[in-house]
Chain A
Amino acid sequence: MKLERKPVAFQLRSLLPELRTLQQKTNAAFQPPKSIDLHSRFIALNSQIKLAEELDASRFYAGALYAYLEAARHYGMLDAPALDAAAQAKVKNDLAAATIRIGASSSDDSIAQLFLERAASYTTHPDGSPPSADEWRGARVILDQVLPSYYAAQKPATPSAMPSGKTIDITLVRWPYT
């Protein structure tokens, strides 16, 4: 991995709303035949969500973000279609564009860069051998689902990402005479 030290780090935050949403989507997707055919993928996906939640609960937000993105990658692979030659060419172009975007950014996007370089390793083998169909799919998922999740995590969580219905009381005990 090639990392340049960038001076600006974005504000990490709790990803609980996103993790809860992803867990719900994962549970909904766990239906036959997918739950049987892709059982190992579901195990990996659920374990990454659990890891992310534990890291998040410990306020290790960078680790939680990485685990969340890894979970998003596994989730994306559940339904990722095979790519034809034109789609494979587009993956290469999109990868190049994403690499330029991160290179031009002044912030520390090293977590995104981990995934981007993984995608690049899928599509370009050092020995010149052709990528597998799963590798093309994996690169597409990183571009279409992991990177957008990464950039979304830099924005404040939206209340709509949370389950509805529950309310919370916040009570301030104060001095009554002033």
Chain B
Amino acid sequence: MLVQEIAAKYPGRVTFVSENFGASRLADRYGVKGYPAVFVDDVLVAVPRDFGYFGEVEGTGRYAPWRNAENQAKFKADLIRMIDLILVGKKDVVSLEHAATAASTSEVTTLPNLKLTDLRGHPLTGNQLNGRVVLVEFWATWCPPCRSTLQWLGDLQHQYGDKLAVVALAVESPEDQIRSTVNSLSPDLRWAIADAPTAAAFGDITSVPTMFLFDKTRKTAKILYGAPPDLHAQAEKTLASLLK
């Protein structure tokens, strides 16, 4: 709908381009991690967190929560203004206004301190994971790719034993459905429900699955967004280097 409205307002003046995450030179140039992201010409104007993240508080994002009609209207108005500015030769104003957007693409560099209770009722803290390679998977019950990844994570946990701690954190899902899914999958993982502060500590989780791999010193080794076809291969390669 937004695309149609913009196209009608600027006939022949605006071209819409769709680029795949993982294959976007613009996203790489700005270090955009995750999706969606929006560029007007080569200016990064919206990053994933602008469109909402798990545990967000109403009104904290520029366009989030995206389900809110007012935020959609704001995005549309902002987009039109950016187009108008660039069409009159004022791209520098747009770049200046969105400098903070470009600077907001950093990732978590160390394993955040966890303070959760797992689904069995036991405390789940960062100290319990000290000295081990840690894999944290954010997932949701409504996410089909998450299910296959969770089953595979169970295999990994079995393969590496105590050397690897796999923590599966559910977001945006009803607890009864989480427990039902967990019961049908591998019970050997550390399962918990991520609260808003935990999601925020990981740098805002804007999509699932999102997988974090940390080395034995808690430093971030790899972050994998979404479920590309080689997700498991990428993770296994990193784990092999961390656990050799």
Contacts and interface: CB of A to CB of B under 8 A. Distances in A.
Main secondary structure of the interface of B (DSSP, over half): mixed
Given A14-B81, A177-B226, A170 B36 contact: no
Interface residues on B, range: 35 or more
Given A167-B13, A167-B15, A169-B17, A175 B84 contact: no
Contacts of A169: 14-17, 39-41
What range describes how many residues of A lie at the interface? 20 to 34
B24 interface: yes
A10 to B, nearest CB: 14
A170 B27 contact: no
B35 interface: yes
A170 B115 CA distance: 41
B198 interface: no
Contacts of A13: 77
B114 interface: no
A99 to B, nearest CB: 33
B18 A159 contact: no
Interface in A134-171: 156-157, 159, 162-163, 166-171
B123 interface: no
B90 interface: yes
B22 interface: yes
Given A167-B15, A168-B41, 10 more contacts: A57-B90, A59-B81, A157-B84, A162-B88, A163-B88, A172-B38, A173-B37, A173-B39, A176-B20, A176-B21
21 contacts: A59-B81, A157-B84, A162-B84, A166-B89, A167-B14, A168-B10, A168-B13, A168-B14, A168-B15, A169-B17, A169-B40, A170-B39, A170-B79, A171-B18, A173-B35, A174-B36, A175-B35, A176-B21, A176-B23, A177-B145, A177-B228
- Closest 7 A/B residue pairs (Cβ): A176-B20, A171-B39, A173-B37, A171-B17, A20-B88, A16-B84, A173-B24
